[in-house]
Amino acid sequence: MIIKPRNLPIEIRKLESLQRRLSLKHPQYQHVSDQLGKFKSGHNGEESLDFPLSFLSTQKYRILHNLRLNDGSRFFQLDTLILSPQFLLILEVKNYSGTLTFNTSYNQLIREKDGLEEAFPDPVIQVTRQQEQLQAWMQAQLGFTMMVETLVVFANERTVVKSTENDKETMLRVTNRSALPYRIRELEKKHQHNKKHELKSLSDYLIRANQEIDWDILEKYQIKRTEIKTGVACPKCALIPMLREFRVWACPRCQFKSRDSHLEALKDYYYLISPTISNREARDFLHISSRDIAYWMLRRLGSKSAGRGMRYNLGNLFDYEG
């Protein structure tokens, strides 16, 4: 049973908004595009686990995606956590292509692809750290720990995985995606005599403890606010800005007309600039001159008076989405 579904990660949403509103000539444009590609590939890898995980008994297992917990001093993030009555299992998903070699004496994963070698941090070490953090978290928050197992899952079926020292220990902790249900069944046998725990309260507690990440993306990529394109984007050809005509947005390039494209622009404002907006800021960002029209667009969002004026809560734009 999936208890906490996987949403499109905030990193991807923010980077998409940023890419849309950055000039192709901006010195950070390529870096932003590359980062977006990296996060999307990771997300696709995680989604590709849905099928093998659908073979698990929904009675026995509870699945939580994208958990971000605080162990007291820092945050740690778990792609997927599977809860069974006898043990917990952390899955760390990697969507790498090419030939991968674990160099366990140097704690690196070397990828060879198209004649190029590239080193990544050893994901087994990474997942071992998560295991320790989760156990410390349970001890501190709940006063007990459970057995925590880990598996690094390579999502790409064509990836070749090797280890330099023929290290069985490491290879036991990695799997490819289609073998995942069988590996979980093996763990089930290994832990069948463990003490049984009540899972509902544990999963409820984990969900309450989850803390979404938020950070200033313009600061992270060193982009000035004045370098962000303002205006409503055309949903058909992506041109910014569309023009406000009588009750509709009109694209001067492809002539597409739309009634509600300002909603997407306000979401970009939310991801890039601020979770709240004033009437004045909305007029500047959407390129409209009428205070009444801006009010009409914002009025359903809910507002709070702050200082001299109202600020509208853009978080409410997402209420109707999954």
Work out whether the CA dihedral 281, 286, 289, 293 comes out positive or negative: negative
Determine, following the binding rule CB under 5 A, whether residue 90 of this chain makes contact with Zn ion. Answer: no
Determine, following the binding rule CB under 5 A, whether residue 191 of this chain makes contact with Zn ion. Answer: no
Neighbours of 229 (CB within 10 A): 12
In angstroms, give the least distance from the CB of 232 to Zn ion. 11
Q: What DSSP character marks residue 242?
A: -
Both tokens of 196, joined, read: 């049984």
Window 254-273: contact mask with Zn ion (x via CB under 5 A): x-x-----------------
C-alpha 320/C-alpha 12 separation (Å) is 19
162 vs 253, beta carbon nearer Zn ion: 253
C-alpha 208/C-alpha 68 separation (Å) is 11
Both tokens of 180, joined, read: 């995942």
119 vs 238, beta carbon nearer Zn ion: 238
The count of C-alpha atoms lying within 13 angstroms of the C-alpha of 170, restricted to the half-sphere facing its C-beta, is 21
Determine, following the binding rule CB under 5 A, whether residue 179 of this chain makes contact with Zn ion. Answer: no
Pick from 237, 243, 263, 306 the residue near Zn ion by CB under 5 A.
Answer: 237
Q: Which window, 81-89, 141-149, 214-222, 251-259, contacts Zn ion (CB under 5 A)? A: 251-259
C-alpha 265/C-alpha 238 separation (Å) is 12
In angstroms, give the least distance from the CB of 266 to Zn ion. 19
Neighbours of 72 (CB within 10 A): 9
Pick from 146, 206, 251, 286 the residue near Zn ion by CB under 5 A.
Answer: 251
81 vs 251, beta carbon nearer Zn ion: 251
Determine, following the binding rule CB under 5 A, whether residue 232 of this chain makes contact with Zn ion. Answer: no
Q: Which window, 119-127, 175-183, 228-236, 257-265, contacts Zn ion (CB under 5 A)? A: 228-236
Contact predicate 273/265, CB 8 Å: no
Determine, following the binding rule CB under 5 A, whether residue 209 of this chain makes contact with Zn ion. Answer: no
Q: Which residues of the chain form contacts with Zn ion (CB under 5 A)?
A: 234, 236-237, 239, 251, 253-254, 256
